[in-house]
Structure 1
């Protein structure tokens, strides 16, 4: 039986024992993983070339990339399309032990306003995404076997790291729980939010944010926050900060050459210094986790590039809370290739298709090899 990096990572993530009292997970059949060989494959790719070029037995078109969505992709009913697959119910049962509430019930039946709360939404998206990996592994095991890279948007980065074997499922979920609760608390302290902005080539996002901050100062707000929090695709950014600043930008959108603006369904000004109070709780829990080297390339939101050493993971996950998500830069790094080289297959694993839409705007040729792993029933997905 041939072996691949991602299959070993998924095996290790499930089979390694659990954290915070959750029970062990079943382990894939013997022969599914040979970590030593897989680490040699990974080491062969450390020369700046795309990882698929380091594995002669696979062409780029045979390789795969997994993308894990973040907060905002949640929808009531997510997970229903996954329950027929092996181990998914066990995944949700383990999540209930870690979280202390029935995440599956919330995901399936809502209500939506409860699911949208940061402290509930982030664990829900995290677990649904890894359950989608289980579905993909069952339906198309070669995709998991041939995976060469993974990336996740914001909280999705935790799911990508668990998939890649950097930490165990229960450790990752507990860290997400602490992160989400701390972010919810920080959000409750200051009226803030996030504004998606589609601009034009001449749009000056930094100048717009500066003027919005000056507007807030005129209103008596001390140390106002308004800055780019997500780089999505060319001319598209998410701006995060005080609500008054975001409302000012919406009101004056034509002045700044904004083509379209939309408030996002999140509770706070994420990926700015408004989330500073959340960094210490997350740092504490990550310090208790022994990080392992990811067995596939995992890209950091903070840098856009892949992690080069497990000791960098906790530091950058904490920094991610108060730093912009460089998703556009991440996609450029993942899909960089020589002229004429095929693109890998890309699978968005988790609720929503937002990452696919962003990929289409960043790299149309890479998007042509994109697929989505549905987490709802088919008819629900069509209605959504």
Structure 2
């Protein structure tokens, strides 16, 4: 049997229409979506299918919507006989990875990520925090610039996502991001692109959210995983319940080490890495990390069928 890893997208991959094709074609998915609507006391399904995009993009809506879409796609893959040997997710996507690996039920994860979204929104005043993508430049140079901005201005700016070679995301106060952007360009960085986000995620400014989230996480029924899940914080596989909970709290204010996660997975002789859920953002990042690695994205019946046909071919 082929060895595949599932990777699950995070916030930013949401779009109106997400999950609708799977909903229209699979009873399992329809049941999952209807149960989610009942559980969350709203109509998440209508928001996902009809928008508006602005409301769907709100953190407290985008997070359960992305989790639900990823879990639905993974459930259909399981029905088709596809089982990963390991999983990982980008930020929010780590929850989809944990659901897939049996560490937490979808029923428990949905309200948990909605709360996570609300706490992230409230952790820092609206409009005062920012994030930006840094394209090009050496990591040592970038970190040196961030350190100098922190020291010289008293503002906060941290490395938030290590996505792939030549692509880093920084997070912090609006003034800190602006100062770092100017200084990075002076030091040879090609581009610094502001991101359309509502807060300084994966920076130390999220620690108030992490403290409140830890209290709620203690009430959650986590179990040991059935297969390794590569954690955002450590880029290493985790299987034990206590370690999972601790890392999920740290994840809120720590950088996402996606490039290292993929590099670690590639050491395990995989036949393919499969992005499960909406969009192809992670597929693009994987290709930049290792251009010859076979990748698939599964988000609708067409992409599902193409992957399953490959998976069941004789090697």
Q: Which residue of 1 aligns with 2:57?
A: 116
Of residues 128, 132, 138 in structure 1, which corresponds to 2:69?
128
Of residues 226, 234, 237 in structure 1, which corresponds to 2:157?
226
The 3 A distance-change label for structure 1 pair 333 and 214 is: same
**Aligned 1:1-384 pairs, distance under 5 A:** 58=1, 62-83=2-23, 84-138=25-79, 141-144=80-83, 147-188=84-125, 191-201=128-138, 204-214=141-151, 216-217=153-154, 224-337=155-268, 343-366=270-293, 369-375=294-300
Q: Distance in 1 between matches of 2:158 and 2:259?
A: 17
1:193·1:269 contact (CA, 8 Å) conserved in 2? yes
Farther-moved stretch of structure 1 (256-265 vs 322-331) = 256-265
2:146·2:158 contact (CA, 8 Å) conserved in 1? yes
2:231·2:237 contact (CA, 8 Å) conserved in 1? yes
1:166·1:291 contact (CA, 8 Å) conserved in 2? yes
1:202·1:257 contact (CA, 8 Å) conserved in 2? no
Q: Distance in 2 between matches of 1:202 and 1:108?
A: 40
**Structure 2 spans left out of the alignment, 5+ residues:** 304-315
**Structure 1 spans left out of the alignment, 5+ residues:** 1-57, 218-223, 379-384
- Deviation at residue 179 of structure 1 after TM alignment: 0.6
- Determine helix, strand or coil for the equivalent of 1:348: strand
1:116·1:266 contact (CA, 8 Å) conserved in 2? no
Paired residues, what number? 302
Farther-moved stretch of structure 1 (182-191 vs 170-179) = 182-191
Q: Distance in 1 between matches of 2:19 and 2:238?
A: 30
The 3 A distance-change label for structure 1 pair 215 and 112 is: farther
The 3 A distance-change label for structure 1 pair 87 and 126 is: same
Q: Distance in 1 between matches of 2:208 and 2:70?
A: 27
User: Over aligned residue pairs, what C-alpha RMSD do you find?
Assistant: 2.0
- Deviation at residue 260 of structure 1 after TM alignment: 2.2
1:178·1:281 contact (CA, 8 Å) conserved in 2? no
Q: Distance in 2 between matches of 1:334 and 1:151?
A: 9
Q: Can you list the C-alpha shifts for 1:6-50, whole angstroms capped at 9, x where unaligned?
A: xxxxxxxxxxxxxxxxxxxxxxxxxxxxxxxxxxxxxxxxxxxxx
- Determine helix, strand or coil for the equivalent of 1:352: coil
Q: Distance in 2 between matches of 1:131 and 1:344?
A: 23
- Determine helix, strand or coil for the equivalent of 2:72: helix
The 3 A distance-change label for structure 1 pair 215 and 96 is: farther
Q: Distance in 1 between matches of 2:246 and 2:253?
A: 12
Farther-moved stretch of structure 1 (235-244 vs 90-99) = 90-99
Farther-moved stretch of structure 1 (245-254 vs 262-271) = 245-254
- Deviation at residue 283 of structure 1 after TM alignment: 1.2
Q: Distance in 1 between matches of 2:248 and 2:20?
A: 30
Q: Can you list the C-alpha shifts for 1:356-382, whole angstroms capped at 9, x where unaligned?
A: 11111111222xx1101124999xxxx
